[in-house]
Amino acid sequence: MRILMVEDARDLAEGVIAHLARSGIVCDLAVTIEEARDCRAVQRYDAIILDINLPDGSGLSFLRDIRAAVDRTPVLMLTALSAVDDRVEALDQGADDYLSKPFDQRELEARLRALVRREADRKEEQITLGSLTYSPKDRSARLGDRQLDLTRREAALLDTLIRHRGQYLSKARLYDSLYGFDDADVGVNAIELYIARLRKKFAGSDVAITTQRGVGYRIGLEA
C-alpha cells in the first residue's frame, strides 16, 4: 500500500510515516498542495491523507480538483478543525473519512486500511488470468485448485504485475511496490529475486512472467 500524506507539520508527519512503515505501508510526504500535485503526477496512490490548512491554500480545493478529475482515490482528512460544520463540508466535497487532531496512530492506520479495502471491493473482487485467480482484498492467490503461499513482498509484487497485466513494468516501478515492508533497505536488483520466486510458483502452469531487456517484466499467459 502506498499513501500520500499532505501535511505541513513535519514532526507529526514523520511520526505517522514511521508508524505506517512498521506495518508495511509506504507513505510519501508533500508539505504543500503544489508538492502533492507533483507527487501525483508521477505516482499512483492507494489513499491520500490530507490536511485542510496548508501553506499554499486549502486542502479542500485540492480535494475538489481530485474529484473534478473523476479520481476516486480514497481521501482521509486529518485536521485540527473538528467542528461539525468542518466535517460536513469536507465530506460534501468528496472526502471519504475525517479524523481530528490529536489522534491515535492505530486508528489512523485502521481507517486507511478500511478505505483501501472498500475501494478495492468496489473496483474488483477478483482478477483472473488463466488458471491464476488473485484477490486484491487480501492479496491472496490460487493457481488452479492450489492456494499459493506468498510472502508479503511476493504478494506486493504480484499485485502490481497483475493489476497491469499485459504491460511491461520497469524494475524501478516494481521497486516502489516492495519498499517499506521492513526496516532493511531493499535494492532495485532484489526485484530479480522476487521475480524468480514467483516464476517458480507458476512453473508448469499457463501463467508466465516474461522479461524484455531494458524495459522490464510482464505477467501474462504462456504463448
Looking at per-residue confidence, does 87 or 206 come out higher? 206
Least confident of 25-34, 111-120, 203-212: 111-120
127-221 has which CATH code?
Answer: 1.10.10.10
Burial of 214 (0-12, 13-18, 19+ CB in 10 A): exposed
Question: 73-102: per-residue pLDDT in tens?
Answer: 999 999 888 788 888 888 888 899 999 888
Average pLDDT, the chain: 87
Question: 45-75: per-residue pLDDT in tens?
Answer: 989 999 999 999 999 999 999 988 878 899 9
Looking at per-residue confidence, does 111 or 181 come out higher? 111
Query: Distance between CA atoms of 62 and 46, rounded to whole angstroms?
Result: 17
The grid coordinates listed for 79 are 485536521
pLDDT band at 124 (very low <50, low <70, confident <90, very high): low
Closest C-alpha to 27, from 8, 51, 6: 6
> What pLDDT sits at residue 71?
86
pTM here is 0.58
Are the C-beta atoms of 141 and 158 separated by less than 8 Å? yes
The H-or-E segment that residue 210 falls in is strand 207-212
Domain ranges of the chain: 2-122, 127-221
Which residues face 79 on adjacent strands?
A: 100
Q: What is the CA radius of gyration of the chain?
A: 19
Its CATH class, for the domain covering 2-122, is alpha beta
On the question of pLDDT at 190 being above 90, the answer is no
Instruction: Output the CA–CA distances (angstroms, integers) from residue 27 to 45, 76, 174, 177, in the order listed.
Output: 9, 14, 16, 12
